[in-house]
Amino acid sequence: MTAPPPIRVILIDDEPNSSEALRALLEHYCPEVTVIGQANSAEQGLRLLREQAPDLLFLDVEMPLGSGFDLLEALGGVPFNIVFITAHDRYALRAIKCCALDYLLKPVSVADLRAAVAKSQRQPATSATAVRTFYDNISTRHQPGAGKLVLPTLQGFEVVEVARIVRCEADDNYTRFVLTGQPNLLVSRTLKEYEELLSDRGFLRIHQSHLINADHVKRYIKGSGGYVQLSDDSIIEVSRRKKDELMKRFLPGG
């Protein structure tokens, strides 16, 4: 039986030591991989990617004189898989995960590296839409309601505008997105992950099972914790411990 061709890999990281360490790990623990090139800046990486045709790119998130996302924007099409590498920025990690992209956290562990390589063999090339959406999420993260999300579904993924999200509801280890003007979506991520991603975009966790978009609140109804009525006319219970947070959001001087 003929062995499958090797996975052609390019490494782009502004820290030469990190790049060499990653190469050594790949060569030792991932025999199915062949490293065909390395670059230590976004500019060098862009030239390398235009010259070579990798199957898989390991790309540093933040680099001097241009980020990994600047590089991808300049490149245009992305006919390969991407694994982002980062040493920090928890927001970036959450956004990558919610866009169905993969990442490695420095220092890279052998188990995580092998899992990322195996995942790249099972999935099609990284969606250019997913990359652009992640870039939009990072660029507009401090603007309530701005940007888009890539939501992984059982059929593939859906790109939605944040402003269209009315609420998110926990469903075991899934999250149900209720949207304006389109059908609900069931996503294979937990509500907590989306709470972390959307909390600085005007979303409030008002109950263990509900994350709401404050822009879609129509009225508040008093009670022990109370209830909110949203733009889709759903009425959602507010837990007692979340009531003060909700009041501060809508009545900051109250």
What is the 3-state secondary structure of 202-214? Answer: CEEEEECCEEEEH
Report pTM.
0.60
Query: Given this model, what pLDDT does residue 172 score?
Result: 86
Instruction: For domain 7-135, say whether CATH 3.40.50.2300 is its number.
Output: yes
Query: Given this model, what pLDDT does residue 144 score?
Result: 58
Residue 139 token pair: 């660029």
Q: Which residues of the chain have pLDDT under 50?
A: 100
| Count helices and strands in the chain by DSSP H and E runs | 8, 15
Cα 243 to Cα 238: distance, rounded to the nearest angstrom:
6
Are 5 and 30 spatial neighbours (Cβ–Cβ below 8 Å)? no
Name the architecture of domain 146-250. Beta Barrel (2.40)
Query: Given this model, what pLDDT does residue 234 score?
Result: 96
Cα 130 to Cα 158: distance, rounded to the nearest angstrom:
10
Distances (CA, A) of 203 to 132, 136, 182, 195, 253: 22, 18, 20, 7, 20
Query: Given this model, what pLDDT does residue 189 score?
Result: 80
Distances (CA, A) of 99 to 10, 126, 150: 22, 10, 5
Are 115 and 127 spatial neighbours (Cβ–Cβ below 8 Å)? no
**If you search the block for the tokens 């502004």, which residue do you land on?**
14
140-148 LR contacts (CB < 8 Å, sep 24+): 141/91, 141/95, 141/200, 141/201, 142/200, 143/201, 144/200, 144/201, 144/202, 144/214, 144/215, 145/201, 145/202, 145/213, 145/215, 146/201, 147/201
Query: Given this model, what pLDDT does residue 1 score?
Result: 58
Query: Given this model, what pLDDT does residue 127 score?
Result: 63
Closest CA to 99 of 229, 232, 197, 242: 197
Cα 105 to Cα 103: distance, rounded to the nearest angstrom:
7
pLDDT in tens, 43-58: 899 999 999 989 999 9
Query: Given this model, what pLDDT does residue 158 score?
Result: 80
Cα 178 to Cα 44: distance, rounded to the nearest angstrom:
43
Where do the domains of the chain lie?
Answer: 7-135, 146-250
